C-alpha cells in the first residue's frame, strides 16, 4: 500500500489543532496529530516543505523505515518541531496499517494488557476552598484520580488555574500573557491544600499535583517531602527537566513519586532518568515524542527499569493523540495512568471518535485504526487563530522558569 497524497489541516474549534491526513492507493487514509501548542505553524511548514515531498510513494507498512528515514535524514536530530512532524506521519501510517488490516490499533501493539484505562482529571480552584468544591464535583463524575491545583492567595493568577466559572485552557489568544510567580507563597500553600483534601475526602482518592517546572531541586525536595503524609500518586515536573541530573538530588530526599516528560521529544531526553530509576512515571507523549514507533521503544526501555507511563493528555493534544495514547495505554504492560482533560463538545464534533469514558476509566473503542475521524467541513469553519502559552515573572520582574 503506497502513500499517494498528504494534506495538512489547520483548524481552531475553540483552540488550534494541526492534523495530517495521509492518503493511500487503496482508497483509505490515516490521521496524525501535528499540534505543537504555540508553535503550530512551524510544524505546518516543516511538514509541507520538508516532509510531505519525501514520503509520497513510500510503502505505508514500512513504519520503521519511514521513521528512520525522516529522523536520520533530517541530520538535525530531535527537537519538538522535528519530532512532532515525524510523530504525525508515524501516527497516520499506523492508523492506515490498522485500518487496512481491519483491527483496532492496540491489536498491533501487543493486544490488550488490561480491560480499561485509569485516567486522572484536573480540579482547579481560585483558592483552596474553591479547589475542594472542584474536587467534589469530579468525584461525583466518577473520577478515581484527581490532579489538584489551586490559585495562590496574594498572587494575581496562577498557570493551570482558570478564573472562577471558566475552564482552564493552556493557551490564550494573542501574544503570551504574563503571570506572577512567588515560590515562597506557593511552597507554603500546597502542603496545606493537600492536608485539607485528605481530611475532607479520605485516603482512597488518588491525588496528583503539577509544579510546572518552577522549583529549584532543593525547593522541590522540600515540597515533595512535606507532601509525603498525603501520599500523592505523583508530583509532576517538580524541577526544570533540562538537567536530568537534578532528579538525583530530589530522589535522595523524598519518597513522593515523581512524574516528568510532557516536553520531552526523544528517549535521549530521559534515558538517564529511566536507567537510574530517578522517576516513577514518564509523561513523554506519542505526539511530541516522535510517534508510536519511538514511544514504543521508550516505553519498553522504561518497563525494564520499573518506570511506568503517564501520558500527557491536556486539551492542546487533539483527539487523534488521545486515541493513540489510549491504544498504547491499553496495550503497554508498564502503563501507569492517563491524563484526561476533556475537549470542548465542538472539538469532539470536528474529531468524532470511538473512545469513551466511564466511571473514571477510558477505552479506545474497537473501531479499526485509531478510531478517529475529521469533519473537514466543520473544521473549515474555524480558521487558525494565534494563541500562546503564558510566561512567568517573579514579583520583582525576573523572567521565571516554566
Catalytic residues: 159, 212
Q: Looking only at residues 33 through 52 of this chain, which bind ligand CS2 when binding is defined by CB under 6 A?
A: 37
Q: What angle do CA 386, 387, 393 make, to 5 degrees?
A: 135
20: left (phi over 0), alpha (psi -120 to 50) or beta: beta
Distances in Å between the alpha carbon of 47 and those of 54, 89, 355?
10, 9, 27
Query: Of these partners, ligand CS2, Mg ion, none, which one is at the site of residue 308 (CB under 5 to 8 Å by kind)?
Result: none
Q: What are the φ/ψ torsions at residue 24 (nearest 5 degrees)?
A: -125, 170
> Could you tell me the smallest distance in angstroms from the CB atom of residue 298 to Mg ion?
18
* Minimum distance from residue 301 beta carbon to Mg ion (Å): 22
Q: Is 210 in the site for ligand CS2 (CB under 6 A)?
A: yes
Smaller CB separation from ligand CS2, 367 or 387: 387
Q: According to CB under 6 A, which one of 226, 269, 316, 329 is a site residue for ligand CS2? A: 316
DSSP state of 218: H
In the complex with Mg ion, which residue's Cβ is closer, 210 or 329?
A: 210
CA atoms within 13 A on the CB side of 34: 31
- Asked if 309 is part of the footprint of ligand CS2 (rule: CB under 6 A), the reply reads no
Of 23 and 209, the one with the shorter C-beta distance to Mg ion is 209
Selected range binding ligand CS2 among 299-307, 309-317, 374-382, 390-398, rule: CB under 6 A: 309-317
CB of 283 to ligand CS2, least distance (A): 7
Provide the binding-site residues for Mg ion, judged by CB under 5 A: 210, 262
Q: How far apart are CA 255 and CA 109, in angstroms?
A: 33
Cell of residue 65, nine digits? 523505515
Of these, 339, 353, 354, 374, which contacts ligand CS2 (CB under 6 A)?
339
Pick out residues in 156-195 that bind ligand CS2 (CB under 6 A).
Answer: 170
What is the contact mask toward ligand CS2 in residues 89 to 108, using x (rule: CB under 6 A)?
A: --------------------
Q: Which residue stretches of 13-124 are H helix?
A: 40-45, 52-55, 63-74, 80-101
In the complex with ligand CS2, which residue's Cβ is closer, 376 or 385? 385
State the binding partner of 170 from ligand CS2, Mg ion, none, CB within 5 to 8 A by kind. Answer: ligand CS2
Q: Which three cell numbers stand for residue 142?
A: 466518577
* Residues 237-276 interacting with ligand CS2 (rule: CB under 6 A): 262
Residue nearest to ligand CS2 according to CB distances in the complex: 314
Q: Which helix (H) or strand (E) holds 133?
A: helix 128-140
Cβ-based burial of 114 (10 A; exposed 0-12, middle 13-18, buried ≥19): middle
Alpha-carbon distance of 349 to 318, in angstroms, equals 12
Backbone angles phi, psi at 147, to 5 degrees: -85, 125
> Per CB under 6 A, which region of 9-17, 97-105, 292-300, 311-319 contacts ligand CS2?
311-319
The answer to whether residues 383 and 167 touch, using CB atoms and an 8 Å cutoff, is no
Interacting residue ranges for ligand CS2, rule: CB under 6 A: 37, 170, 210, 212, 262, 312, 314, 316, 339, 389
Amino acid at each position: 500500500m503506497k502513500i499517494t497524497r498528504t494534506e495538512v489541516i489547520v483548524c481552531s474549534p475553540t483552540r488550534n489543532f494541526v492534523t495530517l491526513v495521509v492518503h493511500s492507493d487503496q482508497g483509505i487514509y490515516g490521521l496524525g496529530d501535528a499540534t505543537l501548542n504555540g508553535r503550530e505553524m512551524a510544524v505546518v511548514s516543516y511538514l509541507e516543505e520538508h516532509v510531505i515531498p519525501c514520503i509520497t510513494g513510500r510503502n505505508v507498512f514500512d513504519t520503521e523505515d519511514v521513521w528512520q528515514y525522516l529522523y536520520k535524514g533530517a541530520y538535525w536530530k530531535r527537537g519538538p518541531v522535528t519530532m512532532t512532524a515525524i510523530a504525525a506521519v508515524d501516527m497516520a501510517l499506523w492508523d492506515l496499517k490498522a485500518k487496512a488490516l481491519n483491527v483496532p490499533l492496540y491489536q498491533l501493539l501487543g493486544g490488550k494488557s488490561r480491560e480499561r484505562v485509569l485516567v486522572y482529571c484536573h480540579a482547579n480552584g481560585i483558592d483552596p476552598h474553591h479547589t475542594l468544591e472542584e474536587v467534589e464535583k469530579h468525584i461525583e463524575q466518577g473520577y478515581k484520580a484527581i490532579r489538584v491545583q489551586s490559585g495562590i492567595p496574594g498572587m494575581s493568577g496562577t498557570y493551570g488555574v482558570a478564573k472562577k466559572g471558566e475552564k482552564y485552557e493552556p493557551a490564550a489568544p494573542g501574544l503570551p500573557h504574563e503571570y506572577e510567580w512567588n515560590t515562597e507563597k506557593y511552597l507554603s500553600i500546597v502542603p496545606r491544600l493537600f492536608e485539607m483534601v485528605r481530611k475532607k475526602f479520605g485516603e482512597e482518592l488518588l491525588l496528583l499535583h503539577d509544579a510546572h517546572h518552577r522549583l529549584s531541586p532543593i525547593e522541590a525536595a522540600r515540597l515533595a517531602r512535606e507532601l509525603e503524609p498525603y501520599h500523592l500518586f505523583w508530583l509532576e515536573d517538580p524541577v526544570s527537566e533540562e538537567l536530568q541530573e537534578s532528579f538525583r538530588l530530589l530522589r535522595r530526599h523524598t519518597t513522593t513519586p515523581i512524574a516528568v516528560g510532557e516536553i520531552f521529544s526523544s528517549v535521549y531526553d530521559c534515558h538517564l532518568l529511566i536507567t537510574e530509576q530517578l522517576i516513577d512515571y514518564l509523561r513523554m507523549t506519542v505526539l511530541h515524542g516522535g510517534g508510536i514507533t519511538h514511544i514504543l521503544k521508550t516505553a519498553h526501555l522504561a518497563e525494564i527499569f520499573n518506570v511506568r507511563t503517564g501520558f500527557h493528555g491536556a486539551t492542546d493534544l487533539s483527539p487523534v493523540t488521545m486515541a493513540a495514547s489510549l491504544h498504547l495505554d491499553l496495550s503497554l504492560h508498564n502503563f501507569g495512568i492517563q491524563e484526561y482533560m476533556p475537549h470542548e463538545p465542538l472539538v469532539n464534533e470536528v474529531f468524532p471518535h470511538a473512545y469513551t469514558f466511564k466511571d473514571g476509566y477510558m477505552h479506545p473503542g474497537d473501531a479499526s485504526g485509531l478510531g478517529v475521524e475529521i469533519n473537514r467541513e466543520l473544521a473549515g469553519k474555524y480558521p487558525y487563530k494565534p494563541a500562546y502559552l503564558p510566561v512567568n515573572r517573579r514579583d520583582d520582574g525576573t523572567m521565571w522558569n516554566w
